[in-house]
Amino acid sequence: MTGSVDQLPPSTRLPAKVRGLIFVRDQGLLVLWIAIVIAFSYLAAPHFFTLPTGIAMLNSASIASIYAAGLGVGVMTGVLDLSVPGTAALAGVVTALLLKAGTPVAVAILAGLVTGVLVGVANGLVVIRGFDPLIVTIAMLSVLNGVSLLLAGGYNVSGLDALTFMGTRTYLGIPAPVYLAVALFIVLTVFLKTSRAGMRLLAVGGNAEAARRVGIAVSRYRVVGFSVSGLCAALGGIVTSAYVTTAAPSASLGIVFDAMTAVALAGIPFIGGRGSLPRVALGAIVIATISTGLLLAGVQTYWSSIATGVLLIGGLTLYKSTTAMSTCRG
């Protein structure tokens, strides 16, 4: 049968309450964002609903979404990488120090990205030996933070003007990080949806035991999941350094919370197996919209952190409620 849910026989239809929850899960994020925009257009008038504010907000969301993309892919493949802030800091510092030493820009950026991949591989190799990924990645976060501070001598590495092309520069009025984020999401979406490796990653995240029984090398793909997370974290760290023309060796914990919130708002189950990267991007836009709106409305900045935490809890609660009730019939 190819009809809609409403065309199903009454005995097989989901209850209206469950269908409502599913609609909120699938379309509620867009509705929420529109409502937030309307609210701040009034509360933060006349500065919120303007083109410059929109571009600045999009730029902020694009940088956050780069981190969220890696975390989202990791979660979909059944791994949760909390070392993202440390990876970002280390990649930024490595890139900055190489640039300061006279290394060609492309080589320095490549070295930063490879650093992220190596961190991901290290996380994965430890986790597949039976260790808890949360403990492993938290420990790695501490290690990476210390290594970054050690390499940078405890100081920020500034003067990264060679990276302005991917940080502060605009193209056709749009900031460079937006283009990078869009390209990253397109590549990752195509990879997950059309490639054999991508589909196997999702299979491992959905049911590792079933994937193992059909011959998929579960451990290998978990390492790949961590590697993708590390790569995106490194890219985010380099773009952040490029945007402020300074590489900060201290890990920013706000990165992982914003990324997790974007993933939760996208409805990606933290047990893995499925998810939508475009909705992860929209989740990052929602967070950036709230932060920008509160700032322009003259609200103290800590309310942005409170709002992020509330959204994270709300996203997780909604997914749990929808999953539990979708099994009901009548």
Task: For residue range 11-61, list pLDDT tens digits in order.
Answer: 455 566 556 555 555 567 788 888 888 888 888 888 888 899 999 999 999
Task: Give the least confident one: 36-50, 77-91, 147-161, 178-192.
Answer: 36-50
Query: In this structure, is residue 264 part of a structural domain?
Result: yes
Burial call 56-89: b when 16+ CB within 10 Å, e when fewer = ebbbbbbbbbbbbbbbbbbbbbbbbbbbbbbbbb
Residue 11 in any domain: the answer is no
Burial of 185 (0-12, 13-18, 19+ CB in 10 A): buried
Domain CATH for 247: 1.10.3470
Which DSSP symbol is given to 15?
P
Residue 65 lies in a domain: yes
Where in the sequence is the domain holding 145, given as residue range(s)?
57-316
Task: Report the pLDDT averaged over residues 248-266.
Answer: 84
Q: Count how many domains the chain has.
A: 1
Does 14 map to a domain?
Answer: no
User: Is 246 part of a structural domain of the chain?
Assistant: yes
Q: What pLDDT sits at residue 256?
A: 81
| Residue 89 located in a structural domain | yes
- Amino acid present at 312: L
User: What are the Cα distances from residue 249, in Å, to 60, 97, 131, 252, 300?
Assistant: 20, 11, 27, 9, 27
Q: Are strands 157-158 and 246-247 parallel, antiparallel or unpaired?
A: antiparallel
Of all residues in the chain, what percent carry a pLDDT higher than 70?
Answer: 84
Asked if residue 86 belongs to a domain, the reply is yes
**What pLDDT shows up at residue 315?**
65
Does some domain include residue 82? yes
- In the prediction, which pLDDT does 272 show? 62
